[in-house]
Amino acid sequence: MPQAFVPSANVAQLRPSATIATAARARALKAAGRPIIDLSIGEPDFDTPDFIKAAAARAIAGGATKYTAPEGIMPLREAIAAVAGAQYRGGDAPQGLDVCVSGGSKQVLFNACFALFGPGDEVLVPTPAWTSYLDIVMLARATPVPVMGDPDDGFRVSVDALAAAATPRTKGIILNSPCNPTGTVLDADELRAILDLARAKGWWVISDEIYRRIAYERAAPGALDLVEARDNLVVVDGVAKAYAMTGWRIGWAVAPRAVAKTLADLQSQTTSNPNTPAQHAALAALTERDAAEESIAAMVRAFRARRDAALAILAEPGAPRVIAPGGAFYLYVDAGDFPADDGDTGGAFCRALLEEQDVAVVPGSAFGTPGWVRLSYAAAEHDVVTAVRRLVDTYRAATRVPA
């Protein structure tokens, strides 16, 4: 008798990533011949810069094809420490911290949550939040506690709201600025206030700074800019977004030495080292600074132009409300009064856009706010403008009050 598969308790609550699921549906429709404009996936449409590809090719030709230390090659870890050090009041590599390199910042987040949290622990998650935080915390058998931000203030979560959501079981908080899905950027005072609260309460802070370099009017401060917050702090970053390297799968943690050692030990028992040629590619990204800064600046300029073109359409009368983003490459749009039999206005808006307008965006339910939708403007400007025009027209048509 074949044995029926019953998922173990480890994965009983596991859901596939909603953003990846939406992108897969868009790809399937495209393959079937539909002219889908896909604004669902959070991936720069730019190719990895040539100097990074060339470094990887040189590394492969030179024999960088073997295992490395589980925590990554020393020159890359040193380069990451130097970048963190430059942030850290423009000085040396931060004292007492160490670096562990992993297969993308998603693996870093998993390893960090698995190492820091466990059964009985609660983890505060300012919401809306990137879809994977909740699932990753649950995979660690801890309990995610969404703390709702204020939609009239870019969904910022106040220190008071965080303190009110805490219990004696609160063990940590996951921060993400610039934020996916809202694009909201915390300024230094806001970030410091949350870091101070976490220190006073004895919480761990996981600060996911994967979008830190993609900021528009003002640079986005990182937690390592704030000296007093470092011994309860794990900073997560990677090359995926700022260097258009999503497929290379390199991310890292800058963490207190004992934590970094545990992350490396965990990795030594699961995936071993991150991909070796990709580590060399990331090393080039972090050390060939002139070329890197030039490519980041060009991408940020292009993202900004697309954001502004989209916001101009969303400012028209009758358009849905949108959070004005200061960073990342997402627009978070209020589905407001979009008609929905089941009350999931964001889901209904997404379905209408995909099925009737050939535009793929992600429902806000994936981020803990069902009344919203997220679109990524990491796509050609012409596609972004066409898609946002259809989104606004669809919203207007569906919410028009009969004369």
Alpha helices in 166-275 (DSSP H): 188-201, 257-268
By CB under 6 A, residue 17 contacts ligand PLP: no
Q: Which is nearer to ligand PLP, 64 or 109 (CB)?
A: 109
Contact status, residue 358 vs residue 35, Cβ threshold 8 Å: yes
Closest CA to 330 of 26, 27, 106, 39: 39
Q: How far apart are CA 395 and CA 393, in angstroms?
A: 5
DSSP state of 265: H
- In this structure, the number of other CB atoms found within 10 A of the CB of residue 64 comes to 18
Q: How far apart are CA 136 and CA 369, in angstroms?
A: 18
State the residue number with the nearest CB to ligand PLP.
Answer: 104
Query: Given strand 143-148, what is the order of strands in its sheet?
Result: 97-102, 251-256, 233-238, 204-208, 170-176, 122-127, 143-148
By CB under 6 A, residue 212 contacts ligand PLP: no
Among 40, 143, 170, 180, binds ligand PLP (CB under 6 A): 180
Residues 305-324 that bind ligand PLP (CB under 6 A): none
Q: How far apart are CA 41 and CA 52, in angstroms?
A: 23
Residues 117-146 that bind ligand PLP (CB under 6 A): 130
Among 40, 87, 105, 127, binds ligand PLP (CB under 6 A): 105
Q: How far is the CB of 40 from ligand PLP (least distance, A)?
A: 11
By CB under 6 A, residue 111 contacts ligand PLP: no
> Which region, judged by CB under 6 A, interacts with ligand PLP, from 99-107, 120-128, 145-153, 386-394?
99-107
Contact status, residue 117 vs residue 123, Cβ threshold 8 Å: yes
- Window 270-289: contact mask with ligand PLP (x via CB under 6 A): --------------------
> Which region, judged by CB under 6 A, interacts with ligand PLP, from 104-112, 139-147, 255-263, 339-347?
104-112
Q: How far apart are CA 338 and CA 34, in angstroms?
A: 24
By CB under 6 A, residue 238 contacts ligand PLP: yes
By CB under 6 A, residue 246 contacts ligand PLP: yes
Q: How far apart are CA 314 and CA 309, in angstroms?
A: 9
Q: Which is nearer to ligand PLP, 278 or 384 (CB)?
A: 278
Among 240, 284, 359, 391, binds ligand PLP (CB under 6 A): 240
Do you know the residue count of the chain?
403
Q: What residues make contact with ligand PLP under the rule CB under 6 A?
A: 42, 104-106, 130, 176, 180, 208, 210, 238, 240, 246, 251
